[in-house]
Amino acid sequence: MDKKMEHSLLKNTIESTKSVFNMMAGIDVKGEDIIIFNKDGVKGDVTGIIGLSNDHIKGSMAITFPEELGKEVVANMLAIAPEDISEEELKDGLGEITNMVAGDLNNRIGNIFKLSLPSVITGKDHLVSLTHNDTPIVFKFFALDKPFHLLATFEEQK
């Protein structure tokens, strides 16, 4: 992928994350300068995953949280207390926020991708890895002063 496209995808992924968390949950996301190049994946307790693709580029994106923060983010979205969130609400909320970040990114870059339906994984300390021939990009963000990760990979099809 050319450097300009790659830079645009990275920059807009950050913008979309900040914008969606702010609009949907009233949460200020920080840490946009922390990019980790990580082949091994990252661990989390609750994860939303979505695919993005078109004729030329295949991609995927995952947002993974520690359980407490995942619940707090969804609680803020729903305007209820974290301890009142059901499993169902947590999973729906994670799917929704993942869908919105990917959708917002897609809007910013001219709706070039088709998005898949999001999937949600829950389970203490699972490892999330995205397929990539090169090295997937992992953003370490902070919400409510707690870290979470966004993994993104976009690969040009030969």
d(CA 84, CA 151): 29
What distance lies between CA 66 and its chain's CA centroid?
13
Q: What does the longest C-alpha to C-alpha distance in the chain come to?
A: 48
126 touches its own copies by CB under 8 A = yes
Shortest spacing between CB 40 and its own copies, in angstroms: 8
> Out of 22, 54, 107, 111, which residue is the one contacting its own copies (CB under 8 A)?
54
- How far out from the chain centre does Cα 151 lie? 6
Stretch that binds its own copies, among 14-22, 27-35, 73-81, 119-127 (CB under 8 A): 119-127
Q: Is 66 a residue that touches its own copies (CB under 8 A)? A: no
Site size toward its own copies (CB under 8 A) is 39
Q: For its own copies, which is the closer residue by CB, 9 or 49? A: 49
- Radius of gyration over every alpha carbon of the chain, rounded to an integer in angstroms: 15
Residue 72-91 contact track with its own copies, rule CB under 8 A, x = bound: -------------------x
Beta bridge partners of 105: none
Beta-ladder partners of 29:
143
* CA distance linking residue 15 with residue 101, whole number of Å: 9
Closest CA to 118 of 44, 64, 45: 64
Residue 145: CB minimum distance to its own copies, A:
25
Q: Does residue 153 touch its own copies according to CB under 8 A?
A: yes
Binding-site ranges for its own copies (CB under 8 A): 41, 43, 47, 49-55, 58-60, 62, 91-92, 95, 99, 114-132, 153, 155
